[in-house]
Structure formats: C-alpha cells, structure tokens
Structure 1
C-alpha cells in the first residue's frame, strides 16, 4: 500500500481517460455537437466498429459512409462524425475528411508523445510493430501505433485521431505509390524520429527509377520537428542520397547496418536452433546483445533499425531487446503455422500480404535455411513493377534454386516470365531438380498443392502481392482437417 501511495504523479495524470468528448470533437473540427457523449475509439469502417467508437462517415468516389451510420450505431458506436444530420449522437461538420484531419491535428497537439514515422520499400510494418512493442513495454502501456497497414492519406490521420492524450510515444507507418504522397503524411504526423527501413524496387512502375524511389521515401524527413532524427540504412546503395535529403531537412542522421560507418552496427549474428538469431551490435558508446525471434537475415537488419529508432526516441534499449526476442510473425508477414499433414505436421510460412523483388529474395533465402524434408514455394505476382516486371520475375529463378526448392507454384500473369525461365534446360543446376506449375488463381494453386501432397516435415512458403489473394490458400491449409 505504501508503494502505491508513493507512485509518482505527473501532469499527464490529469488528462482525460476517454479518447474524445463531444465538446472536444466539436472544438477540434469546428462542428456542431448533437448530444453529450464520450468515445473510446475512432473507426471509419462500420464492419469494424466496436462499442464506444466514434464512426466517421467518409465520402469516397464509390462509397458514402453515411449509408452505414445506422449499421455503426447497431454495432455500438457511441456517436458519428457526419456532414449530414442523422438520428443519434453526432457532430455535424462541413466535410468529414477534413474533420478527420482536424481531429488528427488536435490529437497530435494535445499529447506530449514522441512520434516516430516509419517508411521504406520493405519491412515497414514489422519494424513499426517492433518499435511499438519496445516502447509500449518501457512506458507501461503508454505507446500508440497505427494498426494493420493504415499508412495512407486516410490511415495516418485516423491513426493520429486514435492516439490517447496520455500517450508517451506514437508510432506511425507511412506508405506511398507515387512521389509527393509521403510529404502529406509526414506533415500530418510531424515525427520526432523518421525511419527509412530500406530502398527496393517497390512501386517502380509509378516512380520510374530506384533513385526516384529513394527521393520519394526521403520526403518523410521534411516533416521532422526541429532537432529531429533520421534513421537510415547504412548498407543501402542509396545511403548517401538518403543522408543528403535528411541533412537538408536539418535532421540528425543515425544509420544502422553492417557497414563500417553505421552508427548502430552489427558485430556478430549467431543463428539459433529455433530459427532466430543472437545479435551483438555496437552503438558507438555501448554494446547490446539480444535475441531476434523472427528468422531471416532481413530481420537482423530490421532489428538494428528498431534499436536505432528506439534509442533516438528516448526509449529503453533493454525493452527493445526483450520485444525483439518475443516478436512473432504477423499475419501475411511471416506468421508460421504448423498444419496437419500425413505423418505429422508441415510448416506453412504466411508472407501473403505483400511482395517485391527484395522481399521475395529475402524470404526465399530464409526458406533455404529452414530445415525441411522438402521445400515448396507458392509465389504470387509482384505488382507495380511496370516495364521492369518480366525482368524482376525472371530473376527469381536464381534464389529459387539457391533455396533448393523442390516444388514451385507460380500464381498470376506476371509469373509467366519466371515459368519461362524455370523451363529453360540451361536454368537447371546440376543435382537440383525442380518441378513447377503455373496457375492463374489461388484456387488453382490449392489444387496443385493438394495434388502434390504436403507431408510431414515439408516447409511451404506462400508469398505474393496482396491483390493476388494468396491469403485464401493460407486459410484453406490452416483450416483443413487431416
């Protein structure tokens, strides 16, 4: 009891526990409140509404959220943010999209949270989750982050609007398809720390070159608060380009990686029996030894990035190490399932949410390092590669053979280029026979795998762009009964 009485009281303790009140929403948005209420969350999809949420009725080109206000109230919404009068508690505004952005600005202004923005061609969601896990642990639950991949012009303000007033840290993912998009997102988040995980040929169809991709990702530095920190990959071919952009924005630059000039530099990486890695890194004035639970060389780089970002944000490095040791794979981004198979269990690796040439190579490399009786790769088309598509798909033949894949299922039109490459007699390395099949849909891929016959000891990697729909294959095999 005496310890509780001595618990330190801070100014943050006087802040409201409810996320927003009707008065606060009206003041932030310039709207008119109808009814007195408090909300515990903010949601824009009526299907995801939980009791106590504020439902934001956004108007899009194809859908008007006002059509779903009744559904939101039926699911327990406490109020709605609308531009048309409705039955039930609400705040009436001129434009709900602008009102959501205003609510996001108010949330950012009232919380004294250190904000971290995360972007990059590969790994941004996993890095965002790991940074959050570290900061949430050290702040005793006072960290906030964007959920799922809410990283666009709607997802970022929504994530900001959900940030409680008592938050000590906020971690926000920022994505893009075209130049100029991240500029708008970073202007909203105004991060204290801006992270670029890596530069790879994702969205090259829209941007045209790797240099343009690096420039577009560098837009995140322009939104940094004065005295902010840019965390960038030291091993990237575009390190100097990223560094130049960061310095022009007045940022302090902190780099991570294996390169000798890295500020957070890998000293040693020892593979562990469960697939993770024991990592030793130097931070210049200190050394840190920790376990990375997630398998794969790419997660060593991610872990160094997380350590650099947590330190820049003033977080606890010990908590970062513990968080990395406990990280599990995310749905569609590395989740591992033991599925029933004749004779026992097989391993199913779910990387079905996204794919580009760099992440394809990284996950195939990890598949090759995974102990297995047979290795199977189900690979879906990589999107937004434009004129580079055939080249990048065909180049996957090399990592497939290096991973000693026994059977490859290629799904989608763009994968025809890889099928042609694998079909060449000269493509078959001596002593490494490979069978493959090309499919047009996930249903056909399921049929191919069922015909092939997954058995105990097999390792099956499923990876492709989300639009290919390989999540259906994951659902099928995780839910089937043997």
Structure 2
C-alpha cells in the first residue's frame, strides 16, 4: 500500500465517518500548505475556523478533509477535529516499526532535530522522518506524527513547551525510544518560578519513553542531577553527553573555528573524529548530543559523522548569507528565529571568531520574567568579549542593554524591526560580520530579508 492514509484508516483512527473512499498522501492543517493528495484537517482555533477554508483546500487538490460540520466534497466527519488529529497521530505512532526519537531543550532543539534527521537520513536515505519547521506544540506534534510514512525507520520529533504539563501530553503521543534534553536554560522564564522548574518541565519528556527506552541528558548542565533523577523512573538506561570526560559521550578534543568545528568524540562503544560544518563552541555539544542519540537508537555512527560535516544552517538558526554592497560584500549570520540569554551568549561567542568588524542587530528577548532588564543588560559582557564594533538594538526591552553599552561601542537603538530594516544597510560596510538575533515575535526575519533578499 503506497498511500499514507486511506479514508477507511482515517475513519477508524478518529472514530469518524467517511463520506466516500479516498487516499491521502499528506496531511495539513494550514490551508496555504495544502497540495494535491493531502488530507486537510479543519481545526477550530481562537482566531479562525479551518472550516472556512475547506473549499480552498479542495480546489488546491486536497484528496479529502477532516471536519466537524457538514461540507461538500470527500470528507471524514468527526465531533472534534483537534481530538481527531491527536488520534490520527497516535494511530501513526502505533502502526510504525520505526525507532522514534523525541527532542526537547531550552536551546538548540530545532537545530539538533535537523542534525539528527541528517544523520539518520545519511544512512537510510528516504526512510527517516522528522517534524518540519518548528511544529512542536499540541497541534504540530500530532500533525508531524500523522505525516510519518509507513516505511519509516527513524522518526525524529521536536517537542516544545512554555508551561508545565505540556511535554507530558506530547511525549505520551510520541512515545520515544530515545528522549533527548539538549540543555536547560532560562527560556519562557516568565512562566516558571526558576530554572529548576524549567528542568522539571523539560524532564516530562522521559515520562513517555517506551519500556527500556533511553534518556539522553546534558552532563555539563547545572540541572543534570535533577534530570537524571526524573529519568530514572522511566528510562531503561541513561546516557549523558558533554565536554566533561565524566560524561558517557564526551569530546576528547574540540576545536571551534569560524568555518567549522573539529571534534574527537569518545562514545560508549566507539571513538569518532569528524568536523561539524557549522561554527561555534555550542556545536561541539550539539554534535555530542547527536552522536549519543544515534548510538542509543542503533544508528550508523560513521554516517552521522559524515552528515555533521555536511550540515548547513537553517533560516533563522545559523544560516550564513551574503550582503551585497556597492563596494564589496559582508557576511550575515541569520539567528533571527529565537533568543534567550544562553543562546545569545553562544552566538555572540561564535561571532567573535569571525574576521572583520563585528556588527550585531539584536532584538529583545521575550518571556524572561521580572529580571528581564538585568538579563538584557548582562549581554554587554559577551558583546564586549566578541569585540563587537557596532550594535543596532531593537525594541523597548533593549533599553537596559543600550544603557550598559553607552559610550563603549557605536550604538543605535530603534523601537521595532521596521525601523531596524530602514537603517541597517546604511550602517554596514564591506567586510563586516553581521549577527541578527532576537525573539521571533520581534520580526527580525524582515531585517534579514531587507539586507540579503531573503
């Protein structure tokens, strides 16, 4: 059977009723993404109702639609489309024989998820599946599960959260064989009492492990022991990774340079030397996490090393672009998708290794809680350590950092991304290395587009 889903299978999984027989080769809940042969799931959200877009989805070639009210065209009728999407994701997980990996963490989970996909896909091309984009929430995770092909051998699923209890629900859907926490740091701090509470929320991922499953934990993190204690109840084995030689998977050697990072890794059953194509000290740790998971899942370590050597940055997460200027080019490092204090420090350290004048276009870090001003002001130290010559700061939350940097470097502070986009090109010179980073809600992707054309 080549179809991803038949209408009979969808009806059986969701408890719905099929209007007619059809086959679907994809699943989507955003009508803009619907293509020929897809199942369109008409979700009811706070802002809009997907049922308004059923006709559009069918006109774009949807094979059928999943709905909770009468419509024309081939459909599966259910009482609640959100619950039905959960059920479809659960049915996909139940039928697969794939090794399933769950990934969460305060920093790096999307990048590591993509690196894991590359590692497994290098060994078994076309038989590895992963969450697309950052589909990591209560609708993104079941959507990603429901899209998993029947013959998948490795499935990699990102899970995110900003409140306690969210990961508990998601991991019960994913039921990973291997569950990874990349790190614990201050992210979404406005919703938690402290970092220990964030660690507890991240540790919920272990609750969904299949019997005998593996928990993969960052050894160098200050909350390591808390994560281990949480994992012990659910994991058949616990594997740690980090720079410290006491970790199960560690770097005997790690040299980060501006064009890549060499790592000599000691694993539980092997030793591997390789180069990570992406620069930055944080990619040493990311690579160790990838290898720890690949080894735990029974994957091909040699293929993983080759995949790490071929990685390229994702839009908003390390993509390197060229800014064309009248008298020469400048380097643009696109980290515009998200930001918290830990990821800011890591990317600023990476910027410090680049040649030429260093320029930062930094947007506010959101959801940091009552210490927001202090966390922004404390970026002054890593900015100085990176030898930044010019800072364009975006958003009112950046006032504290602007005050901390006043008189120390060239400084421009603007209210929003539109103002930043209007001024940025006039501030950049040939040979500059420009880092753009901020919380996604600031909209710095527009500044990236303005400078490099998308």
TM class by smaller structure: over 0.9
After the TM superposition, which residues 396-411 of structure 1 pair with which residues of structure 2 at under 5 Å, given as runs? 396-411=379-394
Separation of aligned partners in 2, 1:154 and 1:266: 37
Distance (Å, rounded) in 2 between the aligned partners of 1:422 and 1:208: 29
Does residue 287 of structure 1 match 2:287? no
What does 1:34-73 correspond to in 2, within 5 Å? 34-73=19-58
TM-score (norm 2): 0.98
Matched, 1:193 2:178: yes
Q: Find the counterpart in structure 2 of residue 132 from structure 1.
A: 117
Q: Which has the larger radius of gyration?
A: 1
**Structure 1 CA distance, aligned partners of 2:40 and 2:96?**
22
Aligned-partner SS, 1:266: strand
**Residue 260, structure 1, aligned to residue 245, structure 2:** yes
Distance (whole Å) between structure 1 residues aligned to residue 304 and residue 270 of structure 2? 15
Secondary structure of 1:448 counterpart: helix
Cα distance in 1 for partners of 2:328, 2:37 equals 45
Task: Give the Å deviation of 1:413.
Answer: 1.4
CA contact (8 A) 2:294 2:300 kept: yes
Shift of 1:455: 2.2
What's the CA shift for 1:448?
2.8
> Is residue 341–residue 375 contact of structure 2 (8 Å, CA) maintained in 1?
yes
For residues 330-349 of structure 1, the aligned pairs below 5 Å read 330-349=314-333
Secondary structure of 2:232's partner?
A: helix
Q: Residues 166-224 of structure 1, C-alpha deviation per residue, up to 9 Å, x if partnerless?
A: 11111000000111110000011010000000011001110120100100000000110
Contact 1:221 1:251 in 2 (8 A): no
Cα displacement (A) at 1:250: 3.5
SS across alignment from 1:355 = coil
How many residue pairs match? The answer is 454
Pairing 1:382–2:365 present: yes
Confirm or deny that 1:85 pairs with 2:85. Answer: no
Partner of 1:438: 413
How does 1:363-382 map onto structure 2 within 5 Å?
363-372=347-356, 374-382=357-365
Matched position secondary structure for 1:406: strand
Whole-Å Cα distance in 2 between the matches of residues 386 and 233 of structure 1? Answer: 25
Displaced runs of 4 or more, over 3 A? none
User: 2-side partners of 1:237 and 1:336: how far apart?
Assistant: 31
Given the alignment, which residue of 257, 261, 267 partners 1:277? 261
Counterpart in 1 of 2:424? 449
Cα displacement (A) at 1:49: 0.7
The root-mean-square deviation of aligned C-alpha atoms, in Å, is 1.1
Which residue, out of 301, 304, 311, partners 1:320? 304
- From 268, 287, 300, give the equivalent of 2:284: 300
Question: How far apart in 1 are the matches of 2:281 and 2:29?
Answer: 37
- 1:420 and 2:395 equivalent? no
Length-normalised TM-score, structure 1: 0.93
Q: Deviations over 1:95-147 (max 9, x none)?
A: 11111111111101111011100000000000001111111221231111100
Q: 1:142-176 CA distances to partner (integer Å, 9 max, x unpaired)?
A: 11110000000000011111111111111000000
Helix, strand or coil at the partner of 1:248: coil
| 1:278 partner SS | strand
Partner-residue secondary structure (3-state), 2:388: coil
Structure 1, unaligned runs of 5 or more: 1-15, 429-433
- Per-residue deviation, residues 305-325 of structure 1 (Å, max 9, x unmatched): 000011111110011111111
- Name 2:438's counterpart in structure 1: 464
| Structure 1: distance between partners of 2:153 and 2:107 | 27
